[in-house]
Amino acid sequence: MTQATWRRWTDWPLAGLAVLFLVAYSWEVIGQLHGAAERVSETIEWVSWSAFAIDYVVSLVLAQPRWRWFYTHLIDLAIVALPVLRPLRLLRVAAAFTVLQRRTGTALRGRVIAYAIGAGLLLIYVSALAELNAEQARGHIKTIWQALWWSVVTITTTGYGDYTPVTATGKLIAVCVMFGGVALIGVVSATLASWIVERVVEDDEAETQVVTALELQELRDEIRALRLELERRSTDESG
């Protein structure tokens, strides 16, 4: 069995498990579960972890230049190792929807935008959950709404400072969100810049194209004149 076949069969079930994990994790953190409910949500988290771990091992075994796959898929290893990153799996499915677009330039940008929005929203929500989990015992962030507010204030690099993490875990998550924010500004700038540059270059190229085509036309006329000259002479000789 090739890796592609494995992918085709496992992509959607794993995306489903990622959603399930997200729901269970949200339920556990926001609801501050105890007793039976906590055990249910933890079971779901363990099942999803096992599925992701198995998928990683099988993918690694099936990968053809195995070390290359390992190096280029460190993010998949991180998804297995860090539960918080597991919902990132959903981005792979999100990418599938953008395949439908037509023109290459637009399609690339469309994919970048879709990824950025998807990754941004996931980062905001998941980091809010993880921050709430880390801070609600000893920090200032007590509800999911405060956590989401903190998350947006941080990812946009606004940084009011009305809510700041105080625990080590909370600060580590905040560092990821801040660099995510720098990346967000970068993606927005880059996508807009590429769009404007392309539009401007297209207009310029239209002009350049005409010039070259004209010059080639002159060349063609020259050659046609040459052929006519030959034909005229041919007729002269025959006549």
Binding residues among 72-91 for a copy of itself as defined by CB under 8 A: none
Among 74, 104, 137, 138, binds a copy of itself (CB under 8 A): 104
Per the document, the length of the chain is 239
Closer Cβ to a copy of itself, 57 or 228, answer by number? 228
- Count other Cβ atoms within 10 Å, centred on residue 130: 24
Q: Is 195 one of the binding residues for a copy of itself (CB under 8 A)?
A: yes
- B/e letters for 32-71, b = 16+ CB within 10 Å, e = fewer, are ebeeeeeeebeebbeebbebbeebbeebbebbeeeeeeee
Closest contact distance (angstroms) between CB of 149 and a copy of itself is: 5
Helix-, strand-, coil-residue percentages of the chain, each rounded to 5 = 85, 0, 15
For a copy of itself, the binding residues in 24-43 under the rule CB under 8 A are none
Minimal CA–CA distance to 141: which of 177, 171, 104, 181?
171
Please give the residues from 119 up to 158 whose contact with a copy of itself meets the rule CB under 8 A: 145, 149, 152-154, 156-158
Is residue 175 near a copy of itself by the rule CB under 8 A? yes
233 binds a copy of itself (CB under 8 A): yes
- Choosing from 3, 26, 167, 194, the residue that interacts with a copy of itself (CB under 8 A) is 194
In the set 97, 199, 210, 239, which binds a copy of itself (CB under 8 A)?
Answer: 199
In angstroms, give the least distance from the CB of 156 to a copy of itself: 4
Subset of 213-232 contacting a copy of itself (CB under 8 A): 213, 215-216, 218-220, 222-227, 229-231
Shortest Å, Cβ 236 to a copy of itself = 8
Residue 164 interacts with a copy of itself (CB under 8 A)?
yes
CA distances (Å), 211 to each of 108, 207, 215, 222, in order?
29, 7, 6, 17
Name the residue nearer to a copy of itself (CB basis): 96 or 231: 231
Strands (E), 124-221: none
**Is there a contact between 45 and 24 (Cβ–Cβ < 8 Å)?**
yes
The reply on whether position 112 binds a copy of itself by CB under 8 A is: yes
Q: Using CB under 8 A, which of the segments 13-21, 66-74, 128-136, 185-193 binds a copy of itself? A: 185-193
How many amino acids of this chain bind a copy of itself (CB under 8 A)? 71
**Residue 57, amino acid:** V
Do residues 25 and 129 touch, judged by C-beta distance below 8 A?
A: yes
> Is the Cα dihedral 218, 219, 225, 227 positive or negative?
negative
